Amino acid sequence: MDLNKLSLGDKIVAGLGILEFILLFIVPWHSIDVFGETFTLKPLEGDYEAVAWPAALALIVLIVLVAVVLIRKLAPTVNLPNLPIGWNQAIFYASIAVPALLLLKLILQTDALSFWAYVLIAIGVGIAYGGYLISREPEPAVGAGTTPPQPF
């Protein structure tokens, strides 16, 4: 596996995406102290009051995003399907969706937010910046084994 094939945008999206994936499972989004005892709720946990679906959707987008970024560069024999837009643009839009969904989670449930809620959103913004860098790269040529997208 040659990591030199990855551009700066690829490295940012993959590295921060993996970090965000791990942190979504281990750090608290909500934290409150009651009589000297701390109660926490992770981003993917929820009950009737806490909203977990935006974080769960962000996690799904994040997994697909990191997988596509790494597959495109590190497994050149794999042909990804053609999209109506270029893959660089699709990666950019997906990278914007991650912090947007986490920000939606923050807006929907603002009680007892922990420091980590803001850290996770900041990491998401970093992922969006990596996606922006990828969107500025030239689109790779269509491979010999694939056909270009056909107009409808």
| Confidence band, pLDDT 50/70/90 cuts, at residue 50 | low
Residue 31 confidence (pLDDT) above 80: no
For the chain, the domain total comes to 1
Domain of residue 55 covers: 12-135
Asked if the structure places residue 79 within a domain, the reply is yes
Residue 127 confidence (pLDDT) above 80: yes
Asked if the structure places residue 2 within a domain, the reply is no
Residue 49 confidence (pLDDT) above 70: no
What average pLDDT does the segment 19-35 reach? 84
Asked if the structure places residue 5 within a domain, the reply is no
Asked if the structure places residue 17 within a domain, the reply is yes
Cβ-based neighbours of 131, under 8 Å, separated by 6 or more: 9, 13, 65, 91, 92, 93, 94, 95, 96
* 111: DSSP letter: T
| Confidence band, pLDDT 50/70/90 cuts, at residue 62 | very high
Give the H or E element holding residue 34: strand 30-34
Asked if the structure places residue 107 within a domain, the reply is yes
Asked if the structure places residue 4 within a domain, the reply is no
What pLDDT is recorded for position 109? 79
Asked if the structure places residue 3 within a domain, the reply is no
Asked if the structure places residue 146 within a domain, the reply is no
